A and B are shown apart, each in its own frame.
Chain A
Amino acid sequence: MTSEPIIGLEKATKTYGGIAALSAADFTLYPGEIHALVGENGAGKSTLCKLIAGVVAPSEGRLRIDGEVVGLATPKDATRRGISMVYQETSLVPQLTVAQNMVLGRERPFNSVRKVRNAARQVLQRLNFKVDPSQLAGSLSTAKRQMVEIARAVLNEARVIILDEPTAALTPEETDHLFDLMKTLQRNGVAMIFISHALEEALTHADRISVLRNGRLMVTGPAVDFDRERLIHHMIGEELLETERPAAARPRTAAALPVLQVENVRMGAMVNNMSFSVFPGEITGIAGLIGSGRSEVAKVILGHTKRNFGGGRIWLDGREVRYNLPAQAVRDGIAYVSEDRKLDGFFETMSARENIGLGWLAKFGRGRILAPLRRMRRLAGQWEDRLSIRSIGADQSVLYLSGGNQQKVVIAKSLVQEPRLVIFDEPTRGVDVGAIAEIRQIVRDFAAGGAGVILISSYLPEILDLSDRVLVAKSGTIVADFPREEATAAKILHAAIH
């Protein structure tokens, strides 16, 4: 790295509503460099990237591109200067073709379909990436969409490409392909920043690594100087190293009857003859790949989606149930903690307390004309303390809480209903390390109280850490059932893939 840096952030600070998402960060990027950003959620990685990509402007500090101080007003300015960002949730327009997406925002008043397609095809071929440019973007898999975004960046002659958690939704082969692609681009002098939660990726594929914690850039250095331990050390500081794996499974009482029995449930193309049972006091983990029908079966149990006609039977405490609306399931004591809290978990205009209060109202508000506002607030306050939810002000919208606190609000909203059975769908997704440990403890404590717990998680260590029994789902069917002692990562993966 003898050349001048292409990007330089000097003492860059970005505050949102008085809270610094990034404070006084100094960051440099050289041409042809692959730079990994690691850190917990909320550490400021995304903010740093957005500053560079012109999505947000720094509150303080300066951004230099090619040594020149610039103020990027919009992402378009950044694109013009050769900086492109590839988002976690891909930003392709599903109704347009791959080629149209690649020229999106740079169209001329009239476009020749053939010219656009040829230009797109050239780039795609150069990247050794097999996609038909006339295919609709909506029909592509996540991995391919991401690649199309990268190809778009290349077509835009990007010199800097920022990838926000590019491997989060990819299979191992797709991940390899992505890093091959990045190496190819690197040889052409393109600099890349990628955010990753998989530390091995950063260690293996990056030239340099920067670690962020609580909005501060803790350390930057060549990847060879780091190892896993050192990265974790920088990421979470001294105090919070992961709690060790608890003892073996709690013994099931011999005569225990299942809380929930699911038999041959079918729903559309996603759930295909799913059968399993959940026992009280146990955590039943359901592992599997994304799209294996786990969340879908949860929503069928809850009555949120309808199963097929004649599509199986479900018993709760030995009584056959069929719900038309989650409200009925909630009254019977089933609660679901959504996998995407922003999409269908919490109410963003409301405070943590109001959210939790509504959970109570859903279960116990039946037949009430008046909402017992004071009681709801008091109960919610108790749950806030119990799950140590930290909000800055009592009236503050949940939107301003950290991911971990938001997740705890969503969990409290369900637990305040005193349910018989809780389905936790990816309970620690997008949650910082400290909160992960707390949330897992909440799940454990709740099961220890004698209720049934279903844990849906795509993160194997979590399944292994928490589950008393591990089920593996694959294409809408349960294909394996391991007691805790026998469950290993290798066995689960094998069952989930083959």
Chain B
Amino acid sequence: MAIGFATKDRGGRRRNLLELVVMAVTAALFVLFAIGIEGFATPGNLGVVLSNSASLVILSCGMAVVIVSRGLELALIAEMVAGATTFSILINAGVGGPEALLLAVGAMALVGCANAWLIAYVEIPAMLATLASAMFVTGLVRYAVLGGEFLLLLPKSNPAVVLLSGDILPGVPAPVALMVAALVATGFLLRYSAAGRTIYAMGDNFQAARLGGLPVRTTTIVVYVFAALMALFAGLVTAAASGTVDFRTVTNGSLLFEVILVVVLGGIPLRGGRGGVRNIIVGVALIAVLRNGMTLMNVTTQMQDVIKGFVLIIAIVLDNYLNPRDTETDTAGDL
């Protein structure tokens, strides 16, 4: 009989306790920072928190969809930078904004397809396929486009850049609008689309999905193309805000881990099949509040990483404590 213990509410679905705990911790931190740090709870600062989280949210949307399908996307940051580079090069060369965007979307869709082909058709584990594709894409773009440089400057005056970094509506910056759009798109994909149903099924039990005749290959393509496009939009937001495309975001790796951190903290288990948009918001909220508070307190980046790593460990330990595993509920790849 496959019945566990405290992980489930009575006779119903599994309730995600980690999500609740993370929400509570976020709320507590928020109150703590609001009292302890001057200038934290001001509308101006909170607006900054929101804008600064935009690219993280968009990236997390891509990663969350992949992880729900029981995959892993290690090429996300490489795609983000490669997409932004493609777009920037094109507008630098005088191509109009919409055309450049379309071409960049096409290029990233191609990268997503290549990933999905390796995973679904060649049947290489997602982790290896995307790791290889991350190296390939980064190397190719730097070699072919940048000639070995790691920094690409964007003209601040270009209308596309102005549009992406400015307000799209009065009081609504473009990054925030894109962030909301990404969340809505993710919610739609997971909840209402036919592909979304298959994504949950694949994450829940891949063999059952395959044997039951669900289109696991086409859905894998949808998943990785979606992730690549999210990466592109996150790249555009970051590039427009900073005026540069910086390849060191790929090589120092911490952004990729931050994205995985957000997804896992929000309560989307790496074994897949569970979680949704709400979990992304919960995860980002904690990281964003923590990051902003620490920056205001002048904590160094290195110390911030220490604290974030610590938070992740606590979350995993807590999750293990709240959802005890036994031989019956244990699944390979479970976090």
Is the pair A347, B197 in contact by a Cβ cutoff of 8 Å? no
Contact of B194 among A345, A349, A350, A361 (CB under 8 A): A361
Contact of B11 among A326, A327, A396 (CB under 8 A): A396
Is the pair B8, A365 in contact by a Cβ cutoff of 8 Å? no
The reply on B248 being an interface residue by CB < 8 A is no
Which of the listed residues A329, A342, A362, A373 has the most CB atoms from chain B within 10 Å of its own CB?
Answer: A362
Known: A16-B1, A400-B3. A326 touches B213 (CB 8 A): yes
In the bound complex, how far is the Cα of B208 from the Cα of A346, in angstroms? 6
Classify the interface of chain A: helix, strand, loop or mixed: mixed
In the bound complex, how far is the Cα of B197 from the Cα of A384, in angstroms? 20
Interface size class of A (residues with CB under 8 A): 35 or more
Name the distance in Å between A389's Cβ and chain B's nearest Cβ.
16
The reply on A200 being an interface residue by CB < 8 A is no
Which of the listed residues A18, A46, A400 has the most CB atoms from chain B within 10 Å of its own CB?
Answer: A400
Contact of A338 among B11, B196, B197, B208 (CB under 8 A): B208
Contact of B208 among A18, A325, A329, A347 (CB under 8 A): A347
The count of A-to-B residue pairs whose CB atoms sit within 8 angstroms is 124
Classify the interface of chain B: helix, strand, loop or mixed: mixed
Contact of A369 among B11, B13, B194 (CB under 8 A): B194
Is the pair B1, A369 in contact by a Cβ cutoff of 8 Å? no
Is the pair A371, B194 in contact by a Cβ cutoff of 8 Å? yes
Name the distance in Å between A5's Cβ and chain B's nearest Cβ.
26
Interface size class of B (residues with CB under 8 A): 35 or more
Give A329-368 interface residues, CB cut-off 8 Å to B: 329-331, 335-336, 338, 342-350, 357-359, 361-363, 365-366, 368
In the bound complex, how far is the Cα of B327 from the Cα of A346, in angstroms? 19
Is the pair B214, A358 in contact by a Cβ cutoff of 8 Å? yes
The reply on B274 being an interface residue by CB < 8 A is yes
Is the pair A17, B11 in contact by a Cβ cutoff of 8 Å? yes
The reply on A454 being an interface residue by CB < 8 A is no
The reply on A304 being an interface residue by CB < 8 A is yes
Known: A17-B8, A19-B11, A397-B14. A346 touches B205 (CB 8 A): yes
The reply on A176 being an interface residue by CB < 8 A is no
Is the pair B210, A326 in contact by a Cβ cutoff of 8 Å? yes
In the bound complex, how far is the Cα of B211 from the Cα of A371, in angstroms? 20
Question: Can you name the residue of chain A whose Cβ is closest to the Cβ of B196?
Answer: A371
In the bound complex, how far is the Cα of B4 from the Cα of A399, in angstroms? 10
Q: Mark B1-25, 1 if CB is under 8 A from A, else 0.
A: 1110000101111100000000000
Give A221-266 interface residues, CB cut-off 8 Å to B: none
On chain A, the residues within 8 Å of B14 by CB distance are 349, 397
Is the pair A371, B213 in contact by a Cβ cutoff of 8 Å? no
The reply on A302 being an interface residue by CB < 8 A is yes
The reply on A153 being an interface residue by CB < 8 A is no
Is the pair B11, A331 in contact by a Cβ cutoff of 8 Å? no
Interface residues of A (CB under 8 A from B): 16-19, 21, 42, 46-47, 55, 91, 299, 302, 304, 325-327, 329-331, 335-336, 338, 342-350, 357-359, 361-363, 365-366, 368-371, 373, 392-393, 395-397, 399-400, 413-414, 417
Query: 11 other contacts beyond A299-B211, A330-B213, A347-B209, with CB at 8 A cut-off?
Result: A19-B11, A325-B210, A326-B210, A343-B208, A349-B200, A349-B204, A357-B197, A363-B213, A369-B194, A370-B194, A371-B193
A-B contact pairs, 22 of them (CB 8 A): A17-B8, A17-B11, A325-B210, A326-B212, A327-B210, A327-B217, A330-B212, A336-B211, A338-B208, A343-B208, A344-B207, A349-B13, A350-B204, A358-B197, A358-B209, A361-B214, A365-B194, A368-B194, A371-B197, A396-B13, A397-B13, A400-B3
